[in-house]
Amino acid sequence: MSKDTLTITDNRTGRTYEIPIEHDTIQAMALRQIKVNEDDFGMMSYDPAFKNTASTKSTITYIDGDKGILRYRGYPIEQLAEKSNYLETAYLILYGELPTKEQYDEWEYVILHHTFVHENITQLMKGFRHDAHPMGMFIATLAAMSTYYPEGREISDPDKRIKQIHRLIAKLPTVAAFSYRHNRGLPYVYPDNDLSYTGNFLSMLDKMSEAKYKPDPVLERALDVLFILHADHEQNCGTATMRVIGSSHTDPYTAMAGAAAALYGPLHGGANEAVLRMLMEIGDVKNVPDFVKAVKNRERLLMGFGHRVYKNYDPRARIIKQVADEVFEVTGKNPLLAIALELERIALEDDFFVERNLYPNVDFYSGIIYQAMRFPIAMFPVLFAIPRTIGWLSQWVEMLEDSEQKIARPRQIYLGEGERDFVPMDKR
């Protein structure tokens, strides 16, 4: 008997089945042969929230949650954060290899020369309520972009596909910046293609009457590093949504609007916003013990702590802590940092958190940096969505090119009523 198999005995029938193991995994469909009789549908696996189900094979991002390891295409996140920039990392994530100088120059040129949005998109964004949440504007505009680029529906054409990828990476910082300026009642600033990817983004956010905006190099680099850290994170809620919507062969704009919507929730990319609101509510270091008590009594969640995959310190949180120090040198210290550090100190020593392997995740410190950089809290999820664009799109391409993939369609265990006859209203 081959060693790479799993032997299952069905005690209902006494029958034994040998199921192949590949990559330490069994195919869920292999369970279907396990039946009590011929009419039986066959065995399924039940996994609400996909806690132990691999939905794809992927070569993009590797995470070892127990050891706190994150790599894009094999490269450790720490090395990319130190030595790369966002656009280079984006190229790596999409194509699988670091670009040569020539490839990088061309890639950068193409992205930096697709930053303008159609004037009708600008008009459309101006139609939002004056205080619209920037993430709501971002998601809605992203969905609306599908109507400007109908060729995006030609998903089987690799040339058309890469064109939409260029557009999305290039234009979403513009959409994000417009949503920010709108929310503040400021005139929109058009892209400056002479600046770097993040430098241009800062210009569209901050520029007022000056002829040429000069981004602060420390803040420009800090934002770039934050973008690298957020570029991909394998099959998380937003990415899984991108793949599920994309599996019905919709265009990438519409699929990404869904992915961004999934990211918006406070248990996912909206957590950095929730962390900041929590820190402001705690208000003072002396209130930290009471807050921790409330968490342990299950009255509150410690936002920015815990992760479905990391059961160790999130490596991104470690890098962000270093970035925070550099940013605070320019901006001055965010007073909320002291509260965050005290929360972390207590939590990492407390049995409740230790037993459950609850450590700070990427969102615990990112909000504090964004706030020090004077971003309003409502912009935080948008700042997550911009860099995640490349992750969503690379995973979408991988899904489309994977011959094992089909339209995503989970099963259910039906526990409702059996068949019954309709009862007229006067008899109920």
Q: Which is nearer to ligand ACO, 198 or 361 (CB)?
A: 361
Cβ pair 17, 34 in contact under 8 A = yes
Task: For 1-31, give the DSSP string.
Answer: --SSEEEEEETTTTEEEEEE-BTTB--GGGG
**At closest approach, how far in Å is the CB of 166 from ligand ACO?**
26
Chain residues that interact with ligand ACO, rule: CB under 6 A: 267-269, 271, 295, 301-308, 356, 358, 361-363
Q: Determine the Cα–Cα distance for residues 365 and 220; give it in Å rounded to an integer.
A: 18
Greatest pairwise CA separation for the chain in angstroms:
81
Six-digit token string for 156: 């089987």
DSSP 113: T
CB of 275 to ligand ACO, least distance (A): 7
307 catalytically annotated: yes
**Cβ at position 60, least distance to ligand ACO in Å:** 17
In contact, 70 and 313? CB cutoff 8 Å:
no
How many whole angstroms separate alpha carbon 163 and alpha carbon 165? 5
Judge whether 363 counts as a catalytic residue: yes
Q: Which is nearer to ligand ACO, 125 or 302 (CB)?
A: 302
Active-site choice (268, 290, 351, 421): 268
Nearest residue (CB) to ligand ACO, 298 versus 420: 298
Nearest 10 degrees: Cα torsion 27, 29, 33, 36: 110
Rounded alpha-carbon distances, angstroms, from residue 331 to 36, 326, 335, 341, 395: 68, 9, 12, 18, 36
Length of the chain measured in residues: 428
Structural contact between residues 380 and 372, judged by C-beta atoms closer than 8 angstroms: no
Least gap, CB of 393 to ligand ACO (angstroms): 18
In the bound state with ligand ACO, the residue whose beta carbon lies nearer, of 358 and 368, is 358
Nearest approach in angstroms of CB 314 to ligand ACO is 7
Q: For residue 188, which of 117, 139, 133, 129 has the smallest C-alpha distance?
A: 117
Comparing every residue's Cβ against ligand ACO, the nearest one is: 306
Would you call 93 helix, strand, or coil by DSSP?
helix
The nearer residue to ligand ACO, 201 or 305, going by C-beta atoms, is 305
Tell which residue, 82, 420, 384, has the closest CA to residue 222.
Answer: 82
Residue 100, both tokens: 């040569």
Element (H, E) at 95: helix 86-95
Which of 188/352 has CB closer to ligand ACO? 352
From 314, 363, 421, 426, active-site residue: 363
CB of 331 to ligand ACO, least distance (A): 24
Which listed residue (224, 307, 350, 402) is catalytic?
Answer: 307
3-state secondary structure 209-277: CCCCCCCCHHHHHHHHHHHHHCCCCCCCHHHHHHHHHHCCCCCHHHHHHHHHHHHHCCCCCCHHHHHHH
Q: Which is nearer to ligand ACO, 149 or 264 (CB)?
A: 264
- Least CB distance to ligand ACO at residue 344 (A): 12
* Shortest separation between residue 133's beta carbon and ligand ACO, angstroms: 19
Asked if 182 is an active-site residue, the reply is: no
Nearer to ligand ACO, 60 or 358 (CB): 358
- Scored b (16 or more CB within 10 A) or e, 289-324 reads eebbeebeeeeeebbbbbbebbbebbbbbbbbbebb
**Which DSSP letter does residue 425 get?**
G
Residues recognised as catalytic? 268, 307, 363
